[in-house]
Amino acid sequence: MVDPASADEASADAARRRLRAHGIVPIEPDDRIRVMLAPGEVVAAIRRSVSLERRKDPTESSGRMVGDLYVTTRRLVYLGRERVEYPLAEIQDAVEAEGTLRLIVGDRRGIEIEVPDPRLLRVEIAAVREAARVSVLDAPPSPETPEKAEAPWPAGRDDVA
């Protein structure tokens, strides 16, 4: 019998190979997220019934919420008893730990996402962030587009490379 961590790592490895070969493959959005998508924004991954906990600091938690997580080409959107959104550009770091994906966003706030496949989710988020970074670098500069984009997170941390 394969343990969940090994199965997650195998899925993450397969996703890395698939993403290198084919890039981001959009997922058909359901009715809940479709109405929230901006022009050109697509859904890259969906996780149903995940647990999410927000932290302002290590001691202050918002409490766990259960809902659906959407990874789009621009943001993470969590739809549960309340809607929570984080632009992908705000993600500063990502760490997988025993069934959870912990993200540091914005002004050092933390998000803990409990999913059965945290490694795979981390790879999917990294791939979307890298695709967005590359498209920004390839686009001609405009007043709305910064001339220099930041890396998805610190060097050596990108799961897609």
Does residue 14 have a pLDDT over 70?
Answer: yes
Q: Is residue 158 part of a domain?
A: no
SS3 71: strand
Residue 83, C-beta contacts closer than 8 angstroms, at least 6 positions apart: 77
Each residue of 91-130: pLDDT tens digit? 999 999 888 999 999 877 899 999 999 999 999 999 999 9
How many structural domains does the chain have?
Answer: 1
Each residue of 43-91: pLDDT tens digit? 999 999 999 998 876 566 667 899 999 999 999 999 998 899 999 999 9
Q: Is residue 147 part of a domain?
A: no
Q: Is residue 148 part of a domain?
A: no
Q: Is residue 150 part of a domain?
A: no
pTM: 0.79
Q: Which CATH number do you get for residue 128?
A: 2.30.29.30
46 touches 104 (CB < 8 A): no
Q: What residue numbers bound the domain in which 36 lies? A: 4-138
Q: Is residue 112 part of a domain?
A: yes
